[in-house]
Amino acid sequence: WNPIIKNCSLCTEVAIQERPDNSEWNYEGQCYFKCMPGFVSVPSNATVPTACLECAEFAASQGWLLPGNATWQASSDLASAEECTPEAWECPPGLVKNPAGGLCCLESALPDTSSDRGAWVDDTCSWQCDSGYFPRLPSPEDSPPCVTCREYMERYCA
């Protein structure tokens, strides 16, 4: 039964395969199972998967490094298998992701890192303001962080 076009699909015995975990029937005119969105097909170049791996399982098979305190994103949270990359990890609550440094950093020790006037200091849990913004290394108390000299003077020298 094809729920998309609401009719039965005819498949020969040869095309029928054992259903891999985390797969669904391919209703695009083909007679085989395909991995559900976010799950990685193994082997990767095959039309018909023999397995559909969680991103964490695939990452382990590829030898990808997972930062301390981080977890791989759940495949069910990924839109497609292409999103399962070495960067597909997340930090638990209370920690902030430094993607360039591959770190989970303590949120309470950082300023607001959503500022477009600053960036992570490579491979550290430090946030630094861009040139021309102050203070150079803001603290959590600097809200908003990375302000112009005039804004900084008004805030701290008034």
Q: Model confidence over 81-138: pLDDT tens digits?
A: 999 999 999 999 999 999 888 999 999 888 888 878 998 888 899 989 999 999 888 8
Q: What is the mean pLDDT of residues 67-91?
A: 94
Q: Cα separation of 89 and 69, whole Å?
A: 10
- The label of the residue with tokens 């962080």 reads 145
71 with 94: CB under 8 angstroms?
A: no
Q: Looking at residue 139, what is its pLDDT?
A: 86
Torsion from C-alpha of 59, 60, 63, 68, nearest 10 degrees: 90
Q: Looking at residue 73, what is its pLDDT?
A: 96
- Which amino acid makes up residue 40? V
Q: For residue 17, list its beta bridge partners.
A: none
Average pLDDT in the chain: 86
Q: pTM, whole model, 2 decimals?
A: 0.73
pLDDT band per the 50, 70, 90 thresholds, residue 14: very low
Q: Looking at residue 2, what is its pLDDT?
A: 59
Q: Looking at residue 81, what is its pLDDT?
A: 92
C-alpha separations of 11 from 25, 35, 36, 86 in Å = 12, 19, 20, 38
**Residue 111, helix vs strand vs coil:** coil
Q: Looking at residue 18, what is its pLDDT?
A: 80
Give the Cβ contact number of residue 140 at 10 Å.
14
Q: What is the mean pLDDT of residues 57-69?
A: 95
- Which amino acid makes up residue 115? S
Task: Name the nearest CA neighbour of 78 among 35, 24, 17.
Answer: 35
Summarize pLDDT for 41-50 with one digit per residue, the tens.
998 877 788 8
